[in-house]
Amino acid sequence: MPRFDLRNKGQAGVPFYTPAQEPAAGTAAHPAAAPTLFQPLRMRGVELHNRFVVSPMCQYSADNGHLTDFHLVHLGQFALNGAGLVVVEASAVEPRGRISPQDAGLWTDSQMAPLRRIVDFAHSQNTRAGIQLAHADRKASTLAPWIRGSAEKALADEAHGGWPGDVVGPSAIPFSESHAAPRGLSVDDIKGLVQSFAESAVRAVKAGFDVIEIHGAHGYLITSFLSPLSNERTDDYGGSFENRTRFLREVVVAVRAVIPADMPLWLRISATEWIEHAGAPSWDLGQSIRLAKLLPAWGIDVLDVSSGGNNSQQQISRQKTYQTDLAREIRRALRADGIDLLISTVGFIDDAEFARDVVQEGPEQSADLALSARQFLRDPQWVLNAAHKLNVPVKWPNQYHHAEPKEVHDAFLYRAKW
């Protein structure tokens, strides 16, 4: 008869007792036979136990940039229920870089403590934690979406905690009539912002994060530099492709220099502005592919493909594959040149079969990682439920074992295996 370990062993490396999840919830019983979606993936010194990633989701619930117990519960449920990586929402590298007065930040040391609680909880579930570093640029100082109600009421004025007179951008071009008129950044301002990203990255490392993502999508600061529609500068940061990508390169290089060598660094971009119909030069898929081929040399490990958000006149094609198609085109172009940059993508990944197909190894593979936001809000147990839908037995949280499906119980009958 086998000798079972009867201890309710605690999870190592966290400052509180909780039963060890070994392996993590969401781990396939037989990874080699499972769809790619449930196979592990290594990035530098970090391994994810599956390809499900909780995408950064602004919650407009921070207190002067500090996360609260709301965020601990909000994000903790996804770590508990099997996601391979949980990414904290866009966190501003300076106060005026927030989207709203209630957005998260990492511009001061006091903001590390609540973030550390979230990291510790994710680690207590044997799950990895990431954070997205961001600057809202000309889309800053806006009201929470459930308050503004319409685009015409987007701006948060001083009476409501906003800073409409201190919004900045590469050029003095507002995002829309309902947003603040930005002030064009000086070269000294730009150098200061590069340093702000690096300083926030240092804080993210001290807070214990496993992954850092630089937010270069959706019309925020880096996107505004990339696009000739929002960047009309005539100095070294505007005009040519090389100049418009200069700020991004400087941020990436600065962040890479201050984080551990084994820490993965991600970049999210908008692969297109969806403004080709206007006939004017804009940021498009071709430039995204050109950029992607440069990223490994800069120190990026994962390119996170999204789209849009930089122009209020965008016309987005809303079929289910509208963003995964972009990711696949970028991934194919990279592989054709022998470049192994990992690709993640997001957008309408809200059912098990589609998530499986997006990352399934083969000629039609769109990405290496599947990011979801709204689907996790609808179903915090989506990883476990998707596994059930796809007939993949996966580990459930120890404390929830009474609720696991029969096939999971049968696959892991002798729980001491874990």
Q: List, for residues 338-377, the tens digit of each pLDDT value.
A: 999 999 999 999 999 999 999 999 999 999 999 999 999 9
Would you give the end-to-end CA distance of the chain in angstroms? 17
Paired tokens of 368: 């290496």
pLDDT confidence band for 398 (50 / 70 / 90) = very high
Q: CA 101 → CA 64, 98, 106, 147, 151, distances in Å?
A: 7, 7, 14, 12, 17
pLDDT of residue 184: 98
Q: What is the pLDDT of residues 163-199, one digit of tens each?
A: 999 999 999 999 999 999 999 999 999 999 999 999 9
> Among 3.10.129.10, 3.20.20.70, 2.30.40.10, 3.40.50.970, what is the CATH number of 35-380?
3.20.20.70
What percentage of the chain has pLDDT greater than the value 90? 90
- Residue 275 C-alpha from the chain's centroid: 24
CB-based contact 115:107 (threshold 8 Å): no
Q: What is the pLDDT of residues 212-245, one digit of tens each?
A: 999 999 999 999 999 999 999 999 999 999 999 9
CA distance 185 to 170: 5
C-alpha closest to that of 83 among 322, 314, 387: 387
Task: Provide the 10 A C-beta neighbour count for residue 138.
Answer: 27
Rounded mean pLDDT, 63-79: 98
Respond yes or no: is residue 237 known to be catalytic.
no
Give the CA dihedral 232, 234, 236, 241, nearest 10 degrees.
Answer: 50
Q: What are phi and psi of 303, to 5 degrees?
A: -100, 120
pLDDT of residue 408: 75
Q: Give the active site residue among 17, 60, 220, 400.
A: 220
CA distance 19 to 417: 15
CA distance 231 to 393: 50
pLDDT of residue 365: 98
Minimum mean pLDDT range among 4-13, 32-41, 147-156, 179-188: 147-156
Q: Where are the domains of the chain?
A: 35-380
Query: What is the model's pTM?
Result: 0.96
pLDDT confidence band for 151 (50 / 70 / 90) = low
Residue 231 in 3-state DSSP? coil
pLDDT of residue 415: 47
pLDDT of residue 416: 44
Q: Report the mean per-residue pLDDT for the chain.
A: 95
Give the list of residues 6+ apart from residue 338 with CB closer than 8 angstroms, or none.
none
2 pLDDT more than 70:
no
CA distance 371 to 367: 10
DSSP for residue 65: T
411 pLDDT more than 90:
no
Question: DSSP characters for 75-144?
Answer: HHHHHHTT-SEEEEEEEESSGGG-SSTT-EE-SSGGGHHHHHHHHHHHHHTT-EEEEEEE--GGG-SB--
pLDDT of residue 70: 98
pLDDT of residue 152: 66
Rounded mean pLDDT, 9-22: 97
C-alpha closest to that of 173 among 225, 219, 135, 230: 230
pLDDT of residue 417: 47
Q: What are phi and psi of 219, to 5 degrees?
A: 85, 10
Rounded mean pLDDT, 104-123: 98
pLDDT of residue 297: 98
Q: What is the pLDDT of residues 285-319, one digit of tens each?
A: 999 999 999 999 999 999 999 999 999 899 998 89
CB-based contact 138:173 (threshold 8 Å): yes
pLDDT of residue 149: 74
C-alpha closest to that of 237 among 191, 183, 281, 290: 191
pLDDT confidence band for 414 (50 / 70 / 90) = very low
148 pLDDT more than 90:
no
Give the number of residues written for the chain: 418
